[in-house]
Structure 1
Amino acid sequence: MSDNVAHALSGAGGGIIAMILTYPLITVSSRLQVQKDTKGIDAYKGGWDAAVKIFNNEGIKGLYSGLNSAIFGIAVTNGMCTTKAIFEKSKRPMSVVESIIAGTIAGSATVLVTNPIWVVNTRMTTCKVSLDEGEGERTKPRKLGTIATILKIINEDGLKAFWQGVIPALILVTNPIIQYTVFEQLKSRIEKMKKLGNLDFFLLGAIGKLVATSSTYPYIVIKSRMQLRQSSLESARYKNTWDGLQKIITNEGYGGLYKGITSKLLQSVLTAAFLFMYKEVLFKYTIAFLALRKRVI
């Protein structure tokens, strides 16, 4: 059981560290994903342009909009994954197929539980704050906090809005399955040739996430757009995942399905790499701490 606790704590710690280190890239990629007009004066022309404009208009806080909700979402996700891991440890060893099925079921349950958190996070992250001209001075309007954002969603869209984008989110359950499959396959092969170090875990985590994100990215764009408040115009509203895909292709071309992919790939790769690297380091320290605590008690 101590190993399960150690895995839970190290996984949560690694996830939080990785999230904090790469969050500005999440903000940039999210805003590019939901941007439909690329020709306006305030439109982001690319990842670097988005980062500069966000920093100039909103400061460093703008790059970290919604971080609290994201950390909470990661904590809940890790908690549910840990529960699954403990359950698996209590049974006979699972086959690869059984593990994938269990992962899919657990991932789907996690999506249904955490989707409201990510709806709040998406709306906070993608909310632009521009400089307004005051009487002889420029002022920055304040952004809504987490609680205020939740209340606004309830007042304007109702409780059902918290499950917007849940279908593409369920499809994205395959993302971590692809990531961990690639990671474990490469890890098992390389371990036969040499002992793995922190740099190896970093690179393997990066490769696994690169493959997973590249193959599922269009659904990330659809999910982000569906989690925003939907337009009252029929032509601009996404009725479902398929309708969203068709409208993006029709109005923006196939390139619209991959908006912000450069920033997202960089963020995803770094997040996965940092997660695996810090998880391994934190796991060793956690095991040592639990062993010491057990001896003291």
Structure 2
Amino acid sequence: MSDNIAHAISGAGGGIISMILTYPLITVSSRLQVQKDTKGTDAYKGGIDTVVKILKNEGITGLYSGLNSAIFGIALTNGIYYYFYESTKFIFERNKRSMSVVESMLAGAIAGSATVLVTNPIWVVNTRMTTRKESLDENEKSQPKRLGTIKTIMKIINEDGFKAFWQGIIPALILVINPIIQYTTFEQLKARIEKLKKLGNFDFFLLGAISKLIATGSTYPYIVVKSRMQLRQSEYKSTWDGFQKIISNEGYNGLYKGIISKLIQSVFTAAFLFMYKEALFKYTVKILALRKKKI
């Protein structure tokens, strides 16, 4: 069981490092995902144009809007995910060497569902902070005001009630398929390569990148719908309603807004996560072992 805690701690640490390294890409992809009007003078025309306009209008700090909530969110998300994933994995692997594809998918489903239910409020807050929709809800012509994490939380409670923290929960639960695909791909590739050689940090970097590329590429439309449903001004009544309205108003391209930035961000985030997580795991196990001896 101590190994499960070590996996949770190292996963949280790896998530924090990867989040800090790639956060500007998250800001860019989030703003492109929720943007509906692409023809206005202030509309973002693409990844580079988004960066240029953010720097011009908000400065370098604009690329890091909501970073505090994101760091807290990713630490909690990865901690919970890895704890449940490794606990389930331990049960499946007790009498054999590695999990089957079905077992990997089941472990990912259990861990992903538990994580979504606990952390969705954090990502609602982060999405609103990242996309800067707080003041635009009231006056779309005004410059968006910067609100901190606490003020954003209080604004959500006062204007929308506590239920707003679970906006987008259905597409978020559907998106559990993303880590299922990611970790199943990762585990299966890892098991095959381990038969040929001992894995190093760069191997984990590549495995994380490949597995996340496949997962995000295949689930991106749901990511767009989830991001929009987490915003206060979202008019989508359900996930299916979101799909229909996006296709009707923006065409099928609307389901893939910001995909290039998101793929780059997701791939690098996952790559850094897996690499640093494995490195931190070894140290975490040693620290927990020393602490246990002292006790």
Taking structure 2 as the reference length, the TM-score comes to: 0.88
State the superposition RMSD in angstroms: 2.2
Report the Cα offset of residue 141 of structure 1: 6.8
Amino acid at match of 2:10: S
SS at 1:238's partner residue?
coil
What is the rounded CA distance, in whole Å, between the counterparts of 2:154 and 2:13 in structure 1?
A: 30
Q: Cα 1:230–1:194, aligned 2, differ >3 Å: closer, same or farther?
A: same
Contact 2:133 / 2:144 at 8 angstroms: preserved in 1? no
What is the rounded CA distance, in whole Å, between the counterparts of 2:89 and 2:265 in structure 1?
A: 32
SS at 1:230's partner residue?
coil
Report the Cα offset of residue 296 of structure 1: 6.1
Report the Cα offset of residue 195 of structure 1: 2.2
Report the Cα offset of residue 154 of structure 1: 1.3
What is the rounded CA distance, in whole Å, between the counterparts of 1:50 and 1:90 in structure 2?
A: 44
Of 154, 158, 161, the match for 2:157:
154
Match of 1:163 in 2: 166
Contact 2:85 / 2:107 at 8 angstroms: preserved in 1? no
- Structure 1 alignment gaps of length 5 or more: 131-139, 232-236
What are the superposed Cα offsets for residues 103-141 of structure 1, whole Å, 9 maximum, x if unpaired?
3233223212211111111000001699xxxxxxxxx87
Contact 1:175 / 1:216 at 8 angstroms: preserved in 2? yes
Match of 2:189 in 1: 186
Q: Max radius of gyration: which structure?
A: 1
Match of 2:130 in 1: 125
Taking structure 1 as the reference length, the TM-score comes to: 0.88
Match of 1:234 in 2: none
Match of 1:54 in 2: 54
Q: Cα 1:171–1:141, aligned 2, differ >3 Å: closer, same or farther?
A: closer
What are the superposed Cα offsets for residues 186-244 of structure 1, whole Å, 9 maximum, x if unpaired?
1122222222221111111100000000000000000000100135xxxxx21111111
Match of 2:219 in 1: 216
SS at 2:199's partner residue?
coil
In the alignment, structure 1 residue 271 sits paired with structure 2 residue 276: no
What is the rounded CA distance, in whole Å, between the counterparts of 1:249 and 1:207 in structure 2?
A: 29
User: More displaced, 18-27 or 67-76?
Assistant: 67-76
Alignment of 1:1-297 (within 5 A): 1-85=1-85, 87-88=87-88, 91=91, 93=93, 96=100, 97-127=102-132, 142-230=145-233, 237-293=235-291
What is the rounded CA distance, in whole Å, between the counterparts of 1:114 and 1:129 in structure 2?
A: 21
Report the Cα offset of residue 101 of structure 1: 2.8
SS at 1:249's partner residue?
helix
Q: Cα 1:92–1:171, aligned 2, differ >3 Å: closer, same or farther?
A: closer
Amino acid at match of 1:93: E
Contact 2:66 / 2:129 at 8 angstroms: preserved in 1? yes
Amino acid at match of 1:35: Q
What is the rounded CA distance, in whole Å, between the counterparts of 2:134 and 2:19 in structure 1?
A: 23
Contact 1:222 / 1:241 at 8 angstroms: preserved in 2? yes
What are the superposed Cα offsets for residues 4-38 of structure 1, whole Å, 9 maximum, x if unpaired?
33222211110100011001000000000000001
Report the Cα offset of residue 68 of structure 1: 1.2
SS at 1:100's partner residue?
helix
User: More displaced, 54-63 or 209-218?
Assistant: 54-63
SS at 2:59's partner residue?
helix
Contact 1:69 / 1:146 at 8 angstroms: preserved in 2? yes
SS at 2:41's partner residue?
coil
What is the rounded CA distance, in whole Å, between the counterparts of 2:114 and 2:10 in structure 1?
A: 22
Amino acid at match of 1:153: I
Amino acid at match of 1:107: G
Report the Cα offset of residue 83 of structure 1: 3.9
User: More displaced, 180-189 or 86-95?
Assistant: 86-95
Amino acid at match of 2:193: I
Amino acid at match of 1:173: V
